[in-house]
Amino acid sequence: MKRSIALGLALLMILGLMSCAKDETGPIKVGVLLPLTGAKAKFGEMEKNSFELAQAEINASGGVKGRDLEFVYEDDTGKPDVGRMGMEKLITVDKVPVITGGYSSSVTFAAAQVAQKYRVPFLVNTGSVDKITEPEAFDLSIGDSDKFYIYRLNPPVSEYASGLEGFLKYVAPVKTAMIFHENTTFGTKGAKAFAESCSKLGIEIQAISSYTEGTVDFKPLLLRVKAQNPELVYMISYVMDAALLMKQSKELQLSPKLFVGAGAGYTMPAYRENAGIASEKTISATLWHQSLPVPGATDYYNAYITKFGDKSPPDYHGVEAYAAAYVVKDALDRASDMKSASIKKALDGTDMMTAFGPVKFIAYDAKIHQNKMETYVVQWIDGKLELIWPKHLAKVTPVYPIDWQAEWNK
């Protein structure tokens, strides 16, 4: 009996050692939470493509400490409850030590609460509502950096319009504006932030109107534009709503001086595809453009097109995912082991350049672990999304003022 027990224990030890050896030589798994189905799947598709592009490059160059990097995807379907469950699965079932992704703000915040509960680092690359990196929203204080496991690569929504402010001040000094926004956290907070920008610039806000995601008839909202005739219409929408807003603006022959999007759907190739000529000369805030003098920006853009085709080139959403993959690789390379606490410590020390721009997680205002970056302005000109602001980086001259009837009747 004693011999049998001894043999059994020895066998278990051997199997345990074999398992450990396998764990130390097999791929390093990293969780990725994205909307791969549902209304926001176009964004998720671009980001997943970009993660896979980065993964192939990283593994071809030696991986992480000689091991392959493997992304484990969970589809949040664009719904907070599904995002929570996806995050829970990645942590408790897939046992990943770090997670990235996070597209829509409402889903990302819900998922971040789960990551914080389990103390697993979550590097957000797109979800933008400010509270995601505000520890008070997680019942922590600004001094609890060592207890806070959420990091964000992209700017918060309150800063999206910072580049646009300069464009409106120096190029298109309008006096009146109307704001339309989806009644999500992203839309509501974005509208509030742009209203504050307008206040700084002396622009009168004639109306702020919200709508429900998936609205198909925007004409009641747009008829107010016709009645009040603002000089600027600012829209915060995902891609299909963005396209419908502009198509119906064309049908009603509206004529403000500017139609401006707040990033999100207005920089996506699918916006141009669905809005057609109605997208022409619309302007948008953006977080990135492939022509920026950022090392790797053009290389990423060209590599994406080579791999996935030129019909749907990437915008800032794609490069955020691509950069997040490299930030995770950098942290894993520097971590003392593959445990969540060690990876968090490595993320704290991140200071690197990516194709998206510089990444360093700092504390400011009510935020911690937040990367701070410039924002830019782009315009659809002859079917291409062109960088038009800031002036010293612009590749083309902005088209302003705009004769909408002439543009739409070409």
- Same domain flag for 320 and 364: yes
Looking at residue 24, its pLDDT comes to: 67
Burial of residue 9 (CB within 10 Å: 0-12, 13-18, 19+) is exposed
Residue 84 lies in a domain: yes
Looking at residue 18, its pLDDT comes to: 46
Residue 20 lies in a domain: no
| Strand-strand pairing, 122-124 and 150-152 | parallel
319 vs 13, more confident:
319
**Within 10 A of 298 (CB to CB), how many other CB atoms are there?**
14
Residue 255 lies in a domain: yes
Residue 61 lies in a domain: yes
Residue 12 lies in a domain: no
Where are the extended beta strands (E) located within 39-113?
69-75, 99-101
Give dist(CA 312, CA 290) in Å, integer: 14
- Same domain flag for 347 and 244: no
Ordered DSSP codes for 305-368: HHHH-SSS---HHHHHHHHHHHHHHHHHHHSSSSSHHHHHHHHHT-EEEETTEEEEEEEETTEE
> Dihedrals φ, ψ of 173, to 5°?
-75, 75
- Same domain flag for 365 and 385: no
Q: Looking at the predicted structure, is the pLDDT value of residue 12 above 60?
A: no
Q: Looking at the predicted structure, is the pLDDT value of residue 17 above 80?
A: no
Looking at residue 213, its pLDDT comes to: 84
85-113 confidence digits (pLDDT tens)? 999 999 999 999 999 999 999 999 999 99
Q: What is the CATH number of the domain that holds 34?
A: 3.40.50.2300
- Same domain flag for 146 and 228: no
- Same domain flag for 168 and 247: yes
Residue 10 lies in a domain: no
Residues 6+ apart with CB under 8 A from 81: 110
Looking at residue 311, its pLDDT comes to: 83
127-173 confidence digits (pLDDT tens)? 999 999 999 999 999 999 999 999 999 999 999 989 999 999 999 99
Q: Looking at the predicted structure, is the pLDDT value of residue 21 above 80?
A: no
User: Residues of the chain with pLDDT > 90: what percent?
Assistant: 88
- Mean pLDDT, the chain, whole residue set: 93
| Strand-strand pairing, 150-152 and 204-211 | unpaired
> Dihedrals φ, ψ of 278, to 5°?
-70, -15
Q: Are 369 and 151 contacting, i.e. CB atoms less than 8 angstroms apart?
A: yes
Q: Looking at the predicted structure, is the pLDDT value of residue 233 above 80?
A: yes
Read off the tokens for 88.
Answer: 């829970």
Looking at residue 395, its pLDDT comes to: 87
157 vs 160, 282, 375, CA distance in Å? Answer: 5, 20, 11
Q: Looking at the predicted structure, is the pLDDT value of residue 3 above 60?
A: no
259-285 confidence digits (pLDDT tens)? 999 988 999 999 999 999 999 999 999
- Same domain flag for 252 and 384: yes
Read off the tokens for 121.
Answer: 């680092």
Arithmetic mean of pLDDT, 348-373: 97
Residue 345 lies in a domain: yes
Arithmetic mean of pLDDT, 165-185: 95
Looking at residue 405, its pLDDT comes to: 86
- Same domain flag for 272 and 404: yes
Q: How many domains does the chain have?
A: 2
299-330 confidence digits (pLDDT tens)? 999 999 999 998 889 999 999 999 999 999 99
- The boundaries of the domain holding residue 131 are 27-155+294-371
- Same domain flag for 192 and 129: no
- Same domain flag for 97 and 80: yes
- Same domain flag for 82 and 202: no
Q: Are 260 and 179 contacting, i.e. CB atoms less than 8 angstroms apart?
A: no
Q: Looking at the predicted structure, is the pLDDT value of residue 393 above 60?
A: yes
- Same domain flag for 151 and 166: no
Between vectors from CA 58 to CA 56 and to CA 63, what angle results, nearest 5°?
115
- Same domain flag for 41 and 134: yes
Q: How does 93-129 read in b/e, with b if 16+ C-beta sit within 10 Å?
A: eeebbbbbbbbbbbbbbbbbbbbbeeebbbbbbbbbb
Q: Looking at the predicted structure, is the pLDDT value of residue 297 above 80?
A: yes
DSSP character for 257? S
Give dist(CA 124, CA 98) in Å, integer: 11
Cis before residue 358, ω within 30 degrees of 0? no
Max Cα–Cα distance, the chain, nearest Å: 93
